[in-house]
Structure 1
Amino acid sequence: MASSAAPRSPATVPDIAHALLSDGTTVRIRPGGPADHDAVLRLYEGMSPEHLRLRFFVASHRSAEQAAARVAGRSVPGNPRSARRGGSGYRALLAEHDGHLVGIAEYETTSADAINTGTVTADIALAVDGHWHHRGVGTLLLEHLVSAARAAGITAFTADALAENHEVLKVFADLGLSTARHFEGTEVQCVVQLAQSDAYLTSVDFRDRTAGVASLRPVLRPESVVVIGAGRKPGSVGRAILRNLCTGGFTGRLFAVNPNAATVLGVHTHPDLASLPHVPELAVLAVPADQVPAAAEECGKLGVAALVSVSAGLDAAQARTLLDICRAHGMRLVGPNCLGLANTEPDVRLNATFAAAHPQPGTAGVAVQSGGVGIALLSGLARLGVGVSSFVSLGDKYDVSGNDLLQWWECDGRTELALLHLESFGNPRAFARTARRATRRMPILTVDAGRTEAGRAAAASHTSAAATSTMTRQALFQQAGITAARSVGELLEAAALLHSQPLPAGTRVAVVTNAGGAGVLTADACAEAGLTLPPLGTDLIDDVLAVLPEGATATNPVDATAAVGEEQLRACVRLLAASGRVDAVLAALVPTAVAAATGDALVRSLTHTPDRRRDRPVAAVLLDQDLPVRLLPAEEGTVPAYADPQAAARALAHAAARTRWLAQPSGTVPDPDGIDPARAHTAIDAYLDRHPEGGWLGPRECAELLDAYGIRQLPWAWAETEDDAVLAAERLKGPDGLVVLKAHWPGLLHKSQEHALHLDLRGDAQVRAAYRDFEVRFGHLMTGVVVQPLAPRGVELFAGVVQDEVFGPLVLFGHGGTATEVLADHAARLAPLTDHDVHELITAPRCAPLLFGGGGGGPVDLEGIEQLLLRLSRLASDLPQLAEADLNPVLARPDRITALDVRVRVLPRRAQDPYLRQLRRLR
Structure 2
Amino acid sequence: MTDDAHSEPLVHALLADGTTVCIRPVAPGDHEQVQGLYEEMSPENLRLRFFAASRRSAALAADRACASVRPGYRALLAEKQGQVIGLAEYDTGGGKEEAEISIAVADGLHHRGVGTLLVEHLVSAARAEGIATFTADALSENREVLQLFADLGLRTSRRFDGPEVRCTIELGEDDTYLSAVEARGRAANVTSLESLLRPEAIAVVGAGRKAGSVGRAVLHHLHAGGYTGRLLAVNPAASSILGVPSYPSVAALPRTPDLVVVAVPAAAVPATADECGKAGAKALLVLSAGLDSTQTRALMSSCRTYGMRLVGPNCLGISNTEPALRLDATFAADHPRAGTAGVAVQSGGVGIALLDGLSRLGIGVSSFASLGDKYDVSGNDMLQWWESDGRTDLALLHLESFGNPRAFSRTARRVTRRMPLLTVDAGRTEAGRRAAASHTAAAATPTMTRRALFTQAGITATQSVGELLETAALMHSQPLPAGTRVAIVTNAGGAGVLAADACSEAGLALPPLTPELIDALLAVLPDGASVGNPVDATAAVTEDQLRDSVDLIMGHPGVDAVLLALVPTAVARATGDDLVRALTDAPAHGAKPVITVRLEQDLPVKLLPAVGGGTIPSYAEPQAAARALSHAAHRAAWLSRPAGTVPQLDEVDTDRAREVTDTYLTAHPDGGWLDPRTCAALLACYGIPQLPWAWAETEDEAVLAAERLRGPDGRVVMKAHWPGLLHKSEQQAVHLDLQGDAQVRAAFRDFETRFDGLLTGVVVQPLASRGTELLAGVVQDEVFGPLVLFGLGGTATDILRDHAARLAPLTDHDVHDLITSPRCAPLLFGARGSGPVDLAALEQLLLRLSRMAADLPQLAEADFNPVLASPGGVSVLDVRVRLLPRTSHDPHLRRLR
Bin of the TM-score, shorter chain as denominator length:
over 0.9
Distance 1:875 1:11, change over 3 A: farther
1:99 aligns with 2:93: no
1:858 aligns with 2:843: no
- Pick from 651, 656, 669 the counterpart of residue 674 of structure 1: 651
Distance 1:12 1:32, change over 3 A: closer
For structure 1, the residue ranges without an aligned partner over 5 or more in a row are 1-6, 74-83, 114-119
Equivalent in the alignment of 1:76: none
Equivalent in the alignment of 1:797: 774
- Pick from 874, 881, 886 the counterpart of residue 858 of structure 2: 881
The equivalences for 1:678-757 within 5 A come to 678-757=655-734
- Could you tell me whether the CA contact under 8 Å between 2:433 and 2:446 is conserved in 1? no
- Could you tell me whether the CA contact under 8 Å between 2:835 and 2:871 is conserved in 1? yes
Q: Give the 3-state SS of the residue equivalent to 2:454 in structure 1.
A: helix
Equivalent in the alignment of 1:33: 27
Equivalent in the alignment of 1:272: 249
1:197 aligns with 2:174: yes
The equivalences for 1:433-448 within 5 A come to 433-448=410-425
Q: Distance in 2 between matches of 1:8 and 1:593?
A: 85
Tell me which amino acid in the other structure corresponds to 1:631: L
Equivalent in the alignment of 1:3: none
Tell me which amino acid in the other structure corresponds to 1:627: L
Cα displacement (A) at 1:42: 0.8
Equivalent in the alignment of 1:22: 16
1:171 aligns with 2:148: yes
- 1:231-253: CA deviations, max 9, x gaps? 11211100000000001100000
Equivalent in the alignment of 1:417: 394
1:618 aligns with 2:594: yes
Q: Give the 3-state SS of the residue equivalent to 1:818 in structure 2.
A: coil
- Could you tell me whether the CA contact under 8 Å between 1:799 and 1:869 is conserved in 2? yes
Deviates more, 1:89-98 or 1:853-862: 853-862
Equivalent in the alignment of 2:844: 867
Equivalent in the alignment of 2:92: 109
Cα displacement (A) at 1:855: 2.2
Q: Distance in 2 between matches of 1:477 and 1:208?
A: 22
- Could you tell me whether the CA contact under 8 Å between 1:591 and 1:599 is conserved in 2? no
Q: Distance in 2 between matches of 1:62 and 1:462?
A: 64
- 1:173-207: CA deviations, max 9, x gaps? 10001111111111111110101100001101101
* Aligned residue-pair number: 896
Distance 1:604 1:10, change over 3 A: farther
Equivalent in the alignment of 2:407: 430
Cα displacement (A) at 1:12: 8.7
Cα displacement (A) at 1:780: 2.1
- Pick from 125, 130, 145 the counterpart of residue 153 of structure 1: 130
Q: Distance in 1 between matches of 2:564 and 2:219?
A: 47
1:70 aligns with 2:64: yes
Equivalent in the alignment of 2:315: 338
Q: Give the 3-state SS of the residue equivalent to 1:919 in structure 2.
A: coil
- 1:510-533: CA deviations, max 9, x gaps? 000000110011011001000001
Q: Distance in 2 between matches of 1:641 and 1:829?
A: 35
- Could you tell me whether the CA contact under 8 Å between 2:205 and 2:215 is conserved in 1? yes
- Pick from 389, 398, 402 the counterpart of residue 375 of structure 2: 398
The equivalences for 1:60-459 within 5 A come to 60-73=54-67, 86-87=70-71, 89-110=72-93, 112=95, 120-453=97-430
Q: Distance in 2 between matches of 1:891 and 1:600?
A: 64
1:513 aligns with 2:521: no
Percent sequence identity over aligned pairs: 69
Equivalent in the alignment of 1:50: 44
Q: Give the 3-state SS of the residue equivalent to 2:768 in structure 1.
A: coil
Distance 1:111 1:181, change over 3 A: farther
- Pick from 731, 737, 740 the counterpart of residue 760 of structure 1: 737
Deviates more, 1:259-268 or 1:552-561: 259-268
Q: Distance in 1 between matches of 2:489 and 2:685?
A: 60
1:818 aligns with 2:812: no
Cα displacement (A) at 1:595: 3.1
Cα displacement (A) at 1:228: 0.2
Cα displacement (A) at 1:681: 1.1
Equivalent in the alignment of 2:446: 469
Q: Distance in 1 between matches of 2:797 and 2:384?
A: 40
Tell me which amino acid in the other structure corresponds to 1:278: R
Q: Give the 3-state SS of the residue equivalent to 2:570 in structure 1.
A: coil
Q: Give the 3-state SS of the residue equivalent to 2:108 in structure 1.
A: helix
Q: Distance in 2 between matches of 1:465 and 1:317?
A: 36
- Pick from 618, 627, 637 the counterpart of residue 603 of structure 2: 627
Q: Distance in 2 between matches of 1:95 and 1:806?
A: 27
Deviates more, 1:170-179 or 1:64-73: 64-73
Distance 1:131 1:386, change over 3 A: same
- Could you tell me whether the CA contact under 8 Å between 2:774 and 2:791 is conserved in 1? yes
- 1:343-362: CA deviations, max 9, x gaps? 00011110000111000100
Distance 1:578 1:459, change over 3 A: farther
Q: Distance in 2 between matches of 1:562 and 1:460?
A: 61
Equivalent in the alignment of 1:485: 462
Distance 1:596 1:346, change over 3 A: closer
Cα displacement (A) at 1:597: 6.7
- Could you tell me whether the CA contact under 8 Å between 2:572 and 2:578 is conserved in 1? no
Tell me which amino acid in the other structure corresponds to 1:466: A
Larger relative contact order (CA 8 Å, sep ≥ 6): 1
1:781 aligns with 2:764: no
Cα displacement (A) at 1:140: 0.5
- Could you tell me whether the CA contact under 8 Å between 1:338 and 1:394 is conserved in 2? yes
Q: Distance in 2 between matches of 1:582 and 1:320?
A: 58
- Could you tell me whether the CA contact under 8 Å between 1:8 and 1:152 is conserved in 2? no
Q: Give the 3-state SS of the residue equivalent to 2:92 in structure 1.
A: strand
- 1:96-154: CA deviations, max 9, x gaps? 111111111100003636xxxxxx00000011112111111111000000000001110
- 1:331-379: CA deviations, max 9, x gaps? 0000000000000001111000011100010000000000000001111
- Pick from 498, 506, 519 the counterpart of residue 475 of structure 2: 498
Q: Distance in 2 between matches of 1:738 and 1:110?
A: 58
Cα displacement (A) at 1:724: 1.1
Q: Distance in 2 between matches of 1:715 and 1:178?
A: 43
Equivalent in the alignment of 1:910: 887
- Could you tell me whether the CA contact under 8 Å between 1:833 and 1:870 is conserved in 2? yes
Distance 1:897 1:597, change over 3 A: farther
- 1:29-71: CA deviations, max 9, x gaps? 0001211111111111111111111111111112222111101
- Could you tell me whether the CA contact under 8 Å between 1:716 and 1:732 is conserved in 2? yes
Q: Give the 3-state SS of the residue equivalent to 1:693 in structure 2.
A: coil
Q: Give the 3-state SS of the residue equivalent to 1:503 in structure 2.
A: coil
User: Over the residues paired in the alignment, what is the CA RMSD in angstroms?
Assistant: 1.6
Q: Distance in 1 between matches of 2:330 and 2:100?
A: 52
Cα displacement (A) at 1:9: 12
Cα displacement (A) at 1:461: 4.9
1:830 aligns with 2:807: yes
Q: Give the 3-state SS of the residue equivalent to 1:476 in structure 2.
A: helix
Distance 1:297 1:455, change over 3 A: closer
Distance 1:600 1:479, change over 3 A: farther
Q: Give the 3-state SS of the residue equivalent to 1:817 in structure 2.
A: coil
Distance 1:85 1:646, change over 3 A: closer
Distance 1:209 1:730, change over 3 A: same
- Could you tell me whether the CA contact under 8 Å between 1:231 and 1:239 is conserved in 2? yes
